[in-house]
Amino acid sequence: GAGVSQSPSNKVTEKGKDVELRCDPISGHTALYWYRQSLGQGLEFLIYFQGNSAPDKSGLPSDRFSAERTGGSVSTLTIQRTQQEDSAVYLCASSPGGDSNQPQHFGDGTRLSIL
Amino acid sequence: GNSVTQMEGPVTLSEEAFLTINCTYTATGYPSLFWYVQYPGEGLQLLLKATKADDKGSNKGFEATYRKETTSFHLEKGSVQVSDSAVYFCALSAHSNYQLIWGAGTKLIIKP
């Protein structure tokens, strides 16, 4: 499809396990963003990629969170040793370039539940 | 730091009523301003945007004007429909970085 694609759409895992969330941005979009949407916290920025580099990682909540992007396209967000407070919807967005005037286009998100 | 404040919901209106959802912001410089909408069971969609003072964004009958003097970007619609029921998010993007700073969201319920 033409939009941002995220997988899986739902993930249930046990506390302490590692999880990987995938984002496939709109073709040609050089900027990619990860956000987290959780009850009580609203929408929080996690990390921003321009191409394969991440000039802004300021939103990653702890060193258990990491992300990478390869080939200027697909990105993976990894959470190690998951905790219950990691339960949230993880959203990926992309935009044509790193310009704050350009709107970001969102995927449907991955709903992560930590048991 | 940068922040966005929007009115708490839920906001409940009858069909064809006039809608205003207030949004104010704090930012250095001149940020870009956005309204996003999240319909039930769907992802976030851009509704409208404005990138400089006095710009008016509009889409699907919704409008919002970038007011620098009052640091506001209120969302309005003259006649709402049941299909407008959703959660509406106000957001800003500062020119110093590219992340979106979000309001808490306002749930809108339109009754027939």
Length of chain A as a residue count = 115
Taking CB atoms and an 8 Å limit, are A48 and B98 in contact across chains?
yes
**pLDDT single digits (tens) B17-65:** 999 999 999 998 889 999 999 999 888 999 999 999 999 999 999 999 9
Taking CB atoms and an 8 Å limit, are B46 and A35 in contact across chains?
no
Per-residue pLDDT of chain A (115 residues; tens, 9 = 90+): 589 999 999 999 999 999 999 999 999 999 999 999 988 778 899 999 999 998 888 899 999 999 999 888 999 999 999 999 999 999 999 999 877 788 899 999 999 999 9
Taking CA–CA distances from A104, the nearest residue in chain B reads B46
What mean pLDDT is predicted for residues B94-107? 86
φ, ψ of residue B84 in degrees (nearest 5): -80, -5
3-state secondary structure of B110: strand
> Which one of B93, B102, B105 has the shortest CB-CB distance to A100?
B93
Answer yes or no: are the C-beta atoms of A69 and A92 closer than 8 Å.
no
| Strand positions, DSSP E, B9-105 | 11-14, 19-21, 23-26, 32-38, 44-50, 56-59, 62-65, 75-77, 86-93, 100-102
**Which sign does the torsion angle of CA B80, B83, B85, B89 carry?**
negative
**Nearest-neighbour CA in chain A from B79: distance (Å):** 26
Taking CA–CA distances from B96, the nearest residue in chain A reads A100
For residue A24, give the H/E element and its range: strand A19-24
The strand pairing partners of B109, in sequence order, are B12
pLDDT of residue A1: 53
pLDDT of residue A57: 85
Taking CB atoms and an 8 Å limit, are A56 and B99 in contact across chains?
yes
* Count of Cβ atoms closer than 10 Å to residue A114 Cβ: 19
Taking CB atoms and an 8 Å limit, are A101 and B46 in contact across chains?
no
Q: Assess whether pLDDT exceeds 80 at residue B96.
A: no
**A66-75 long-range Cβ contacts below 8 angstroms, 24+ apart:** A67/A34, A69/A32, A72/A30, A73/A24, A73/A25, A73/A27, A74/A22, A74/A23, A74/A24, A74/A25, A75/A22, A75/A23, A75/A25, A75/A32, A75/A34, A75/A49
